[in-house]
Structure 1
Amino acid sequence: MVVNHSVSFVVLGRIAYHRALKLQKLLKRCLLDRLYSAQTGHSQVSDMLLICEHEPVFTVGVRNTDYPATEEQRLKALGADFHRTNRGGLITFHGPGQLIAYPIINLTHYNKSVRWYISQLEKTVINTSKEFGVAANIQSSDRGVWVKDNKLAAIGIQCSRYVTMHGLSLNCNTELSWFDHIVPCGVKNKGVTSLSLELKQNITVQEVLPVFLEAFAKQFSCLLVESKETDLPRNFSS
């Protein structure tokens, strides 16, 4: 594999959605500025890949008119958080048992096409699933990665000045009943699935992570370099 660029990755563990969003925004701003502020203690920022799981949360993208305040309260009453975001797409659920990947990368290092970028994310999930014996695919009409008519991974991104944020969620051993309360990504008459459900055995995020990282590195022709949460900007806090 020809390596064209290096990407730092940080495994955050289980983290509240608002904290991960705050970190994404901070890292994106730093990447756009090409320079950390004096508060961070660093001279520059590299492309980053954040890996985490979330506490139960429903998130909606920029097309969120179907989810007024009454719907927000209904979903919160289930015991999950609720966030309106600047990513593409409609509503989805994030929670324990999902591998969440947020690449904050400069597409000028790879390919400036957002369509290309989304395709690379989809292929990363497809190749990860293949390693576990799950035949996943894409559908021409609906974004994401599917096993037949059941969504295995959701993809929703935001990109400005060629710098990305948000990303993908891959269901490993997610509690899928959370999705019963919404129309995931606005796609009716289709279901959701997980690696565990497809394989009829428990497949954890920890098992999937090294396979996913290898697939990501190959798909983006990059060298992944692990960093620690302590290496992140100091003004990132709960």
Structure 2
Amino acid sequence: MMYSHKTENPRCLLYKRGVTPYLEALEWQRSLLAERVQNPQLEDVLILLEHPSVYTLGQGATLDFLKFDPQQTDYEVHRIERGGEVTYHCPGQLVGYPILNLRRHQQDLHWYLRQLEEVLILLLSIYGLQGERVAGFTGVWVEGKKVAAIGIKVSRWITMHGFALNVCPNMRGFQQIVPCGIADKPVASLAEWLPDIHIEQVREDVALSFAKVFGVHFLETENCGK
């Protein structure tokens, strides 16, 4: 396990929200990042929320992985500054946005990606599921099916964007894309193995796993967030 080896426990603000419009959350992340670029002493942040149905493409993503014309569609589609290809967000999927100063942790993007995977693998173990990495890809799989996608942006060692864990969403939206540009590996949700799973409990357990892996001390804020 690749947990942080820092002896101190940095403070981290924890925001837990429900379904939040994508562009609202994006603006919030950008504001938090800009504040921390200007003042690196500000606390780390973890935002846990859900989004209405929306498709997002990484800054270098190809449109070939969309099965519809983004110029002629009722779907909400945004190209953003994270890495990676197209992904889908919707209610029932837990999205985590860590705004971390990696100078407090480790200035290594490969390490950071593996840590995010470790958070989710640890979370899955709580529910008796074996989370796995797949060589050459970023994310977490269960029994060969991808249950979590990861895409990040880092500016001056401050992170934004993060991970999306399929807890109990309606998976039909994934049929309109090649998720993460990986055509030969199916996507799934935790509800496939745990039909009675609730996102509220998973949100609490993800926070616990994150605190353990990154060695942070949460200062929980009002759930309304901003």
TM-score by length of 2: 0.91
Give the counterpart letter for 1:122 in structure 2.
Answer: E
- Residue 226 of structure 1 corresponds to 220
- Residue 23 of structure 1 corresponds to 28
Give the counterpart letter for 2:42 in structure 1.
Answer: V
Q: What is the CA distance between 1:148 and its match in structure 2?
A: 2.7
TM-score by length of 1: 0.87
% identity of equivalent residues: 35
Distance 1:32 1:84 in 2: 23
Distance 1:220 1:207 in 2: 20
Give the counterpart letter for 1:170 in structure 2.
Answer: L
Which residue of the other structure, out of 42, 45, 64, is the alignment partner of 2:61?
64
- Residue 208 of structure 1 corresponds to 202
Distance 2:216 2:93 in 1: 24
CA root-mean-square deviation: 1.9
Name the SS for the 1:63 alignment partner: coil
Name the SS for the 1:153 alignment partner: strand
Name the SS for the 2:63 alignment partner: coil
Q: Is the 8 A contact 1:97 1:174 kept in 2?
A: yes
Distance 1:230 1:54 in 2: 15
Distance 1:73 1:154 in 2: 25
Give the counterpart letter for 1:30 in structure 2.
Answer: E
- Residue 38 of structure 2 corresponds to 33
Distance 2:22 2:196 in 1: 24
Q: Is the 8 A contact 1:3 1:223 kept in 2?
A: no
Distance 1:184 1:123 in 2: 21
Q: Is the 8 A contact 2:17 2:225 kept in 1?
A: no
Provide closer, same or farther for how the CA distance between residues 33 and 229 of structure 1 changes in structure 2, counting only shifts above 3 A. Answer: farther
Give the counterpart letter for 1:113 in structure 2.
Answer: D
Moved beyond 4 Å, runs of 4+ = none
Q: Which segments of 5 or more consecutive residues in structure 1 lack a partner in the other structure?
A: 36-43, 233-238
Task: Confirm whether residue 182 of structure 1 aligns to residue 177 of structure 2.
Answer: yes
Distance 2:132 2:138 in 1: 10
Distance 1:59 1:231 in 2: 22
- Residue 48 of structure 1 corresponds to 45
- Residue 93 of structure 2 corresponds to 98
Q: How does 1:30-179 map to 2 (within 5 A)?
A: 30-34=35-39, 45-66=42-63, 71-73=69-71, 76-77=73-74, 80-179=75-174
Give the counterpart letter for 1:23 in structure 2.
Answer: W
Provide closer, same or farther for how the CA distance between residues 62 and 231 of structure 1 changes in structure 2, counting only shifts above 3 A. Answer: closer
Q: Deviations over 1:140-166 (max 9, x none)?
A: 122100013211000000001000000
Q: Which segments of 5 or more consecutive residues in structure 2 lack a partner in the other structure?
A: none
Provide closer, same or farther for how the CA distance between residues 189 and 112 of structure 1 changes in structure 2, counting only shifts above 3 A. Answer: same
Name the SS for the 2:208 alignment partner: helix
Q: Deviations over 1:14-73 (max 9, x none)?
A: 1000000000000000011118xxxxxxxx7321111110000000001223259x7214
Name the SS for the 2:149 alignment partner: strand
